[in-house]
Homo-oligomer: A and B are copies of this chain.
Amino acid sequence: MELMGNAIVGQSGGPTAAINATLCGVIRGMLAHAPSHRLFGMRNGIQGFLEGRMIDLTARFTLDDGKTPDESALRALTHTPAASLGSCRKKLPSLDDAAGEETYARLIELFRSRDIHTFFYIGGNDSMDTVAKLSAYTQRVGYPMVVIGVPKTIDNDLEGTDHTPGFGSAAKYVATTLQEIILDCSVYTIPAVTIVEIMGRDAGWLTAASAIGRVTGGLAPDLVYLPERPFSMDAFMKDVRAALTRHPGVVIAVSEGIRFEDGTPVGASVQSGGQATDVFGHSALAGAGKALEFAVKDAIGCKVRSVELNLPQRCAGHLLSAVDIDESLHVGEAAVTAAAAGKSDIMMTIRRRSTEPYVAIISHAPVAEIANQVRHVPEGYINAEGNNVTDECCRYLAPLIVGETRPEWVSGLRGFFRFD
């Protein structure tokens, strides 16, 4: 149980509120299980690394003796949202592409210069593609390298894992914010429709999370639409009218990626003016929420408003799921023990043993089976009408948002970790 040499870790893809907890897990794992080896961090993922930008994380997160963990810095890092090392969206070239050879050769040169033989990459779908390619290349050229992907994404759309680190905190933010919006929309007596647009282009997991309150005795939106089901404007208007007969403050959750039967995004196609251009003559489009706002205004005529939850869904470090942060940390730490055990070409995964009570273990799966795939919300988690999720879905999601963390607050604002 020993690493071959030094290790490097990178963060890639969109930020989440838990991606630094996973980084913290990798650092803690290295300090605990491979104290004689150094851990480097890529600045801005594989892209910054190719430019030679890296940082000695072992030095940064230990006290002057170079061994004792700097608990204060590690705690701050755990609760800091967004990727502290910086991120990138770079995809490595295809292995069959001769023009890409230079990139790979440069990587090997950089690895060799720091005696790096373990590579951890924290990211989503595209990042697992990088992991798979790098693994294949190092094997082809005979460079000894352990390559391990560590999942993160608020989209919860990776195959091979019960759920993804980062999703639980985003889900808690969405479910909590939806309940607050529902309270806000219940204070007046005039009929009003509020449409909340939630992140998720292809998979509706995060939008589904808006309904968790239903199985925990709390508030949930009246209607929920996911991209997994084709969207029908007629059925939608019927649903909205029915909801308005039940109470005046109707709240609806929609995924940004909802599409009509023919595949057209709802955000792009609802229009009465002809062209899909905006006020300013741009072809950039209104989102699904805004499109439905105008459609309801036209068809029903009541007060309508749309709310796009936007960036805070993935970076609200003030509202973290304790279960998510705990798992995110452990997934990072387990990546180090897996590397020390000689496992490679894998992505760390979470396996659920039981939902009530919630029990999950950290495991792993071959990364080649996972990269470039999307895990959708299954049929059985959406109701027959396609206008809400099932209780079974809510029960699956509920354990992932349990528990609050106690991050540091300084003078009324969060105290974040930042590299110099």
Binding site for B on A (CB under 8 A): 11, 15, 44, 47-48, 80-83, 86-89, 172, 175-177, 179-181, 183-189, 194, 212-213, 216-219, 270-273, 276-282, 284-286, 291, 294-295, 297-298, 305, 307-308, 310-312, 314-319, 321, 323, 398, 401-404, 409-416
Residue from B88, B89, B271 in contact with A279 in the complex, judged by beta carbons closer than 8 Å: B271
In the bound complex, residues from chain B placing their C-beta under 8 Å from that of A410 are 216-218
- Taken together as a complex, chains A and B put the C-alpha atoms of A83 and B189 apart, in Å, by 12
Does B315 lie within 8 Å of A184, measured CB to CB? yes
Does B318 lie within 8 Å of A176, measured CB to CB? yes
In the bound complex, residues from chain B placing their C-beta under 8 Å from that of A291 are 279-280
- Known interface pairs A184-B311, A401-B412. Does A278 touch B286 (Cβ–Cβ under 8 Å)? yes
- Taken together as a complex, chains A and B put the C-alpha atoms of A317 and B189 apart, in Å, by 22
In the bound complex, residues from chain B placing their C-beta under 8 Å from that of A411 are 216-217, 398, 402
- Taken together as a complex, chains A and B put the C-alpha atoms of A187 and B11 apart, in Å, by 10
- Known interface pairs A177-B312, A180-B318, A181-B315. Does A416 touch B273 (Cβ–Cβ under 8 Å)? no
Does B271 lie within 8 Å of A281, measured CB to CB? yes
Does A180 lie within 8 Å of B413, measured CB to CB? no
Does A412 lie within 8 Å of B183, measured CB to CB? no
Does A310 lie within 8 Å of B312, measured CB to CB? no
Q: Enumerate 28 A-B pairs (CB-CB under 8 Å) in ascending A order.
A: A11-B187, A47-B189, A81-B183, A86-B188, A87-B188, A88-B189, A175-B412, A176-B413, A180-B311, A180-B318, A181-B315, A183-B416, A194-B311, A212-B412, A217-B411, A218-B414, A271-B279, A272-B281, A273-B277, A276-B279, A278-B294, A279-B285, A279-B286, A279-B291, A282-B294, A307-B312, A308-B308, A398-B411
Does B184 lie within 8 Å of A82, measured CB to CB? yes
Give min CB distance, A52 to chain B, whole Å. Answer: 14
- Taken together as a complex, chains A and B put the C-alpha atoms of A187 and B419 apart, in Å, by 12
Closest to A324 in B: B412
- Taken together as a complex, chains A and B put the C-alpha atoms of A373 and B189 apart, in Å, by 27
Residue from B187, B280, B298 in contact with A270 in the complex, judged by beta carbons closer than 8 Å: B280
In the bound complex, residues from chain B placing their C-beta under 8 Å from that of A279 are 271, 273, 276-279, 285-286, 291, 294
Closest to A294 in B: B280
Copies per complex? Answer: 2
Does B416 lie within 8 Å of A412, measured CB to CB? no
Does B308 lie within 8 Å of A310, measured CB to CB? yes
- Taken together as a complex, chains A and B put the C-alpha atoms of A416 and B186 apart, in Å, by 13
Give min CB distance, A394 to chain B, whole Å. Answer: 11
Does A44 lie within 8 Å of B315, measured CB to CB? no
- Taken together as a complex, chains A and B put the C-alpha atoms of A80 and B281 apart, in Å, by 43
- Taken together as a complex, chains A and B put the C-alpha atoms of A270 and B44 apart, in Å, by 35
Closest to A194 in B: B311
Residue from B82, B189, B277, B297 in contact with A187 in the complex, judged by beta carbons closer than 8 Å: B82
- Known interface pairs A88-B189, A183-B416, A411-B398. Does A307 touch B310 (Cβ–Cβ under 8 Å)? yes
Does A184 lie within 8 Å of B276, measured CB to CB? no
Does A317 lie within 8 Å of B398, measured CB to CB? no
- Known interface pairs A180-B82, A282-B297, A284-B294. Does A402 touch B398 (Cβ–Cβ under 8 Å)? no
In the bound complex, residues from chain B placing their C-beta under 8 Å from that of A308 are 307-308, 310
Closest to A215 in B: B411
Residue from B184, B280, B307, B316 in contact with A177 in the complex, judged by beta carbons closer than 8 Å: B316
Residue from B176, B188, B321, B416 in contact with A414 in the complex, judged by beta carbons closer than 8 Å: B176
- Residue among A48, A184, A219, A279 facing the most chain B CB atoms (10 A cut-off): A279
In the bound complex, residues from chain B placing their C-beta under 8 Å from that of A217 are 410-411
Give min CB distance, A266 to chain B, whole Å. Answer: 12
Residue from B187, B278, B305, B321 in contact with A278 in the complex, judged by beta carbons closer than 8 Å: B278
- Taken together as a complex, chains A and B put the C-alpha atoms of A281 and B83 apart, in Å, by 41
Residue from B48, B172, B189, B311 in contact with A48 in the complex, judged by beta carbons closer than 8 Å: B189
Give min CB distance, A312 to chain B, whole Å. Answer: 6
- Taken together as a complex, chains A and B put the C-alpha atoms of A317 and B286 apart, in Å, by 29
Closest to A85 in B: B187
